[in-house]
């Protein structure tokens, strides 16, 4: 079934592509400054010797969460949530984790590692990731109604799950993350 | 002021807060969360389409994610450029590095071995990212900051899988 949303002859707005590129440049710049375009830093985190990755992620989550929920409460933005299931987010994420440790980069940081000049990221990791996503696309018809649907819970958030006001979750989660970061610092990492 | 940009690294908290602020702008301006892994699947599909044409376009997964150049794909291209700029400004751009030092310390400096393992790891990672419906950025940062249940579960299991496997690689196999 086709629906025509564009008038023929009218050029599609390309501005979103430039915004995407701009956000990417800033994101890549930050990833490099954070050191997470490097295998040693990422695997150092997984070996629990270097907590840079967790410090970056948790401080991004606290900052992002407060701003996003503030803007949501003002009606400026809408959330953009991913659906999920036990099959996807437990089994799929464990598979991802294995690949994360074997490769030593993830999809975002490998783009950063390529920009940083690491050849194992360009020649090895990038080819592997493209192949892996293709294998998933080939297998998708067999997976989509089975394991991917197992224990489906849709695109729910914790405030909706607990049927409470957003801030009843945001505030304690922010406090817990900050305490965790303080504890990591005090432990000398 | 200028030295800020030429420093090789910043405090992880400054970087994290920066990424958090970037996520506000991305929602506000583009209405989208920062994420990367779908773009790799779309690129893979576009490459297959060069060889098999219709056969690739008709795959249900590619119909679902749509094979065209979009916002997120440009974001991934931007990450390469942004990291390159930061690396060049700080004199940290690497040439000729095939084997990370942590890897070399455990498994030697064979580029071939490292590349084979990286391809293998990439396959598992790419497959797992699409299986889970997101990666360390889409689930791990953008999804968790929206308090999505799917993303918190994914982020926890990314690290459980990653931590166990890294320990196996470096303390059992090595």
Residue-wise pLDDT tens digits, B143-152: 999 999 999 9
Residue in chain A lying closest to B44 (CA): A130
Which whole number is the average pLDDT over B40-51? 97
Residues B88 and A28: beta-carbon distance below 8 Å: no
**Which chain B residue has the Cα nearest residue A76?**
B28
CA-to-CA separations, A41 to A28, A159, B122, B173, in angstroms, rounded: 16, 34, 18, 20
Q: Does B106 touch chain A (CB under 8 A)?
A: no
Q: Which of B7, B16, B167 sits opposite A57 (nearest CB)?
A: B16
Q: Which residues of B110-138 are buried (b: 16+ CB within 10 A; e: fewer)?
A: eeeebbebbbbbbbbbbbbbbbbbbbbbb
Quick one: pLDDT at residue A4?
45
Longest dimension (CA), chain A: 62
pTM: 0.94
Report, as an integer, the average pLDDT of B134-142: 97
pLDDT in tens, B72-108: 999 999 999 999 999 999 999 999 999 999 999 999 9
Q: What are the tens digits of pLDDT across the range A19-75?
A: 999 999 999 999 999 999 999 999 999 999 999 999 999 999 999 999 999 999 999
Instruction: Give how far Cα A142 sits from Cα of A85, A86, A93, A135, A149, Å.
Output: 16, 17, 19, 12, 11
At residue A6, does pLDDT exceed 80? no
Residue B174 confidence (pLDDT)? 86
Please say if the pLDDT value at position B61 is more than 70: yes
Taking only the tens place, the pLDDT of each residue in A160-171 is 999 999 999 999
ipTM exceeding cut-off 0.90 for this assembly:
yes
Query: Structure tokens of A184?
Result: 């990591």
The chain A residue lying nearest B88, using CA atoms, is A116
Quickly count helices (H) and strands (E) in chain B. Answer: 10, 0
What percentage of chain A has pLDDT greater than the value 90? 92
By CB atoms closer than 10 A (0-12, 13-18, 19+), residue A46 is buried
Instruction: For residue A100, list chain B residues with Cβ-Cβ distance below 8 A.
Output: 121, 125, 136, 158, 161-162, 165
pLDDT at A8 over 70: no
The domain ranges of chain A are 27-80+167-189, 82-156
Contact yes or no for B24 and A64 at CB 8 A: yes
Smallest Cβ–Cβ distance between A118 and the set B94, B160, B163 belongs to B94
């Amino acid at each position: 079934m086709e629906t025509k949303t564009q008038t023929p002859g009218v050029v599609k707005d390309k501005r979103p592509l430039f915004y995407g590129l701009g956000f990417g440049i800033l994101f890549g710049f930050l990833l490099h400054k954070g050191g997470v375009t490097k295998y040693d830093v990422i695997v150092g985190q997984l070996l629990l010797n270097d907590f840079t990755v967790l410090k970056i992620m948790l401080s991004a989550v606290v900052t992002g969460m407060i701003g996003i929920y503030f803007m949501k409460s003002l009606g400026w933005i809408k959330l953009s949530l991913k659906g999920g299931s036990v099959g996807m987010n437990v089994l799929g994420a464990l598979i991802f984790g294995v690949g994360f440790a074997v490769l030593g980069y993830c999809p975002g940081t490998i783009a950063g590692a390529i920009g940083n000049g690491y050849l194992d990221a360009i020649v090895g990791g990038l080819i592997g990731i493209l192949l892996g996503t293709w294998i998933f696309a080939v297998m998708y018809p067999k997976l989509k109604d089975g394991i991917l649907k197992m224990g489906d819970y849709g695109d729910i958030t914790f405030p909706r799950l607990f049927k409470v006001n957003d801030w009843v979750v945001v505030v304690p989660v922010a406090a817990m993350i900050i305490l965790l970061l303080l504890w990591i610092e005090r432990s000398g990492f | 002021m200028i030295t800020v940009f030429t420093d090789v690294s910043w405090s992880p908290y400054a970087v994290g807060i920066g990424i958090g602020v970037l996520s506000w702008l991305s929602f506000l301006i583009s209405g989208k969360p920062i994420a990367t892994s779908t773009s790799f699947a779309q690129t893979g599909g576009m490459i297959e389409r060069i060889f098999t044409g219709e056969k690739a376009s008709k795959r249900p997964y590619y119909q679902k994610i749509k094979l065209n150049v979009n916002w997120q794909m440009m974001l991934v291209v931007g990450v390469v450029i942004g990291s390159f700029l930061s690396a060049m400004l700080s004199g940290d751009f690497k040439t000729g590095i095939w084997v990370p030092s942590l890897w070399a310390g455990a498994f030697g400096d064979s580029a071939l071995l490292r590349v084979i393992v990286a391809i293998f790891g990439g396959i598992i990672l790419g497959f797992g990212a699409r299986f889970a419906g997101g990666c360390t950025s889409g689930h791990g940062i953008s999804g968790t900051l929206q308090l999505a249940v799917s993303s918190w579960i994914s982020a926890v299991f990314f690290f459980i899988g990653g931590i166990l496997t890294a320990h196996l690689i470096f303390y059992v196999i090595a």
